[in-house]
Structure 1
Amino acid sequence: MTTATTAGAATGAATRADYCVIACAEAWRDNGEVLASPMGLIPSIGARLARRTFSPDLLLTNGEAFLVGPDGATEGWLPYHRHLTMVTGGKRHVMMGASQIDRFGNQNISCIGDWEQPARQLLGVRGAPVNTLNNPVSYWIPKHSSRVFVERVDMVSGVGYDRAAAAGPSATRYHRIPRVVTNLGVFDFETPDRSMRIASLHPGVTVEEVRAATGFDLGGIDAAERASTREPTPAELRLIREDLDPRATRLREVPA
């Protein structure tokens, strides 16, 4: 990253990356005392911003055995059995990534192509089924494209609304996908059939651009013409640029 680019990220108008941080932070608004588990750079900045501003009760972890504050200082102990209790009781809100995601929020991080002979091996299913069935899960996708937003995922890792409903009450008790945040906008599932819709677009993004980058029909098109992702406040911009990400590493995920 050039010096000029870094300086530009520290001053002036909000960048696309700043809007993405805000959109990720908003996923944890009004969550109360739950464990925020962001996976990825911009979600991590967003979770720390939420904790510093409108969600002071959020719990943050270092990923091992401790609870930490927004500055990384240790605040408490989180033994593994307590962590699992939060995971399986709906007291955790994860923000994961997705190699593929479909209109009902089914997520794939396992493989591309046929299961018997995949064209590409990815991370594997890992903890995605447990996450999605036992606590709220949002998604962060830094590059919105039709390769990621597909009509049907090749392998279900994270469970979407249609499959959770088909499995019955035991699967739907804690299942919830509050939002999907991308470099183009924010998406949710607040539709009668729980299919994905546009909740807001980042400034400068058009509905046509989103349609071209999505492999299925999206709801919320009419509302999207008027809905723009919330602008960071001056105080939030200062926190992002001076305290939480002074080196502007967020621009590596979403370039200015």
Structure 2
Amino acid sequence: MTSTTTTAATATRAEYCVIACAEAWRDNGEVLASPMGTVPAIGARLAKRTFSPDLLLTDGEATLVGLDGTPEGWLPYRQHLAMVTGGRRHVMMGASQIDRFGNQNISCIGDWQQPSRQLLGVRGAPVNTLNNPTSYWVPKHSTRVFVDKVDMVSGVGYDSAAAAGPSATRYHRIPRVVTNLGVLDFDTPDHSMRLAALHPGVTAAQVQEATDFALNIPEDVPYTREPTPEELRLIREVIDPEGLRDREVRP
């Protein structure tokens, strides 16, 4: 039998990230999981195979997919919108910038009138964040991403939602931000970002150094839970046998 010590010794940083992403959908029930990125997609499929069997998985467009990624059904756009606007979807998006209250930017760097860099554009970020739970995945935690104030609000943070009023806060929730260093959340009185967990081998000081604002850091920060032997088998042999996770998060 594989011991916890052996499992901890053999799990990679990417696999801890997969576990942290999968945990975002724990106890979500029958919702549409919309992971954006390789590691979140592996995490969603792992969650459905293990502790969240009621999850619906999508290819990101108009198709519901099975555990192996093959199409299983058509998701009409009108039904997709009903899930979005009723809080029945949990998205995990990326972020070019994110600030202490969870405002996210994927649109541009610099002043909007004349940005130094044009990015994806606002896309569906406002609709996602105002209408259903939205988590974030950042494969490289750095001060360029974790900024004191985003250059443009694409995804709505807690302070922006509160300023807009009850219509913006009804379904607004940011359960977690997963990075290559750990997990962050907004479980504080003012909804400012908190260090919720560290991946094994990472210190709180390293996370703070890679963040351009002061994090809420509890006295005792737990570590991301260990993957079980069965979860490691599923990740390595069934869900991601090609090891794509290690391209997104280097060992």
Give the TM-score normalised by structure 2.
Answer: 0.95
SS at match of 2:64: strand
SS at match of 1:216: coil
The answer to whether the aligner puts 1:132 opposite 2:129 as a matched pair is: yes
In the other structure, the counterpart of 1:230 is 225
Deviation at 1:73, TM superposition (A): 3.1
Return the alpha-carbon distance in structure 1 between the equivalents of residues 62 and 92 of structure 2.
Answer: 19
Return the alpha-carbon distance in structure 1 between the equivalents of residues 248 and 72 of structure 2.
Answer: 29
In the other structure, the counterpart of 1:112 is 109
The answer to whether the aligner puts 1:239 opposite 2:234 as a matched pair is: yes
In the other structure, the counterpart of 2:24 is 27
Deviations 1:24-53 (A, max 9, x none): 000000000000000000000000000100
Moved more, 239-248 or 60-69: 60-69
| Structure 1 residue corresponding to 2:33, chosen from 36, 40, 45 | 36
The answer to whether the aligner puts 1:151 opposite 2:154 as a matched pair is: no
Return the alpha-carbon distance in structure 2 between the equivalents of residues 209 and 64 of structure 1.
Answer: 37
What does 1:1-256 correspond to in 2, within 5 Å? 13-224=10-221, 227-256=222-251
Return the alpha-carbon distance in structure 2 between the equivalents of residues 65 and 243 of structure 1.
Answer: 24
Deviation at 1:64, TM superposition (A): 3.1
Deviations 1:93-121 (A, max 9, x none): 00000000000000000000011111100
Return the alpha-carbon distance in structure 2 between the equivalents of residues 181 and 103 of structure 1.
Answer: 14
* Residue identity in the other structure for 2:227: P
Q: Kindly report structure 1 stretches of 4+ aligned residues shifted beyond 3 Å.
A: none
* Residue identity in the other structure for 2:94: G
Verify the 8 A CA contact 1:178 1:188 in the aligned structure 2: yes
In the other structure, the counterpart of 1:3 is none
Verify the 8 A CA contact 2:184 2:194 in the aligned structure 1: yes
Structure 2 runs not aligned, ≥5 long: 1-8
Deviation at 1:65, TM superposition (A): 2.6
Structure 1 runs not aligned, ≥5 long: 1-11
In the other structure, the counterpart of 1:6 is none
How many residue pairs get matched? 243
Verify the 8 A CA contact 1:207 1:221 in the aligned structure 2: no
Return the alpha-carbon distance in structure 2 between the equivalents of residues 58 and 36 of structure 1.
Answer: 6
**Identical columns (%):** 78
Root-mean-square deviation (CA, aligned residues, Å) is: 0.9
SS at match of 2:196: strand
Return the alpha-carbon distance in structure 2 between the equivalents of residues 77 and 199 of structure 1.
Answer: 37
Deviation at 1:248, TM superposition (A): 0.7
Deviation at 1:75, TM superposition (A): 2.8
Give the TM-score normalised by structure 1.
Answer: 0.93
Deviation at 1:70, TM superposition (A): 1.2
Deviation at 1:234, TM superposition (A): 0.3
Return the alpha-carbon distance in structure 2 between the equivalents of residues 249 and 74 of structure 1.
Answer: 21
Return the alpha-carbon distance in structure 2 between the equivalents of residues 218 and 46 of structure 1.
Answer: 26
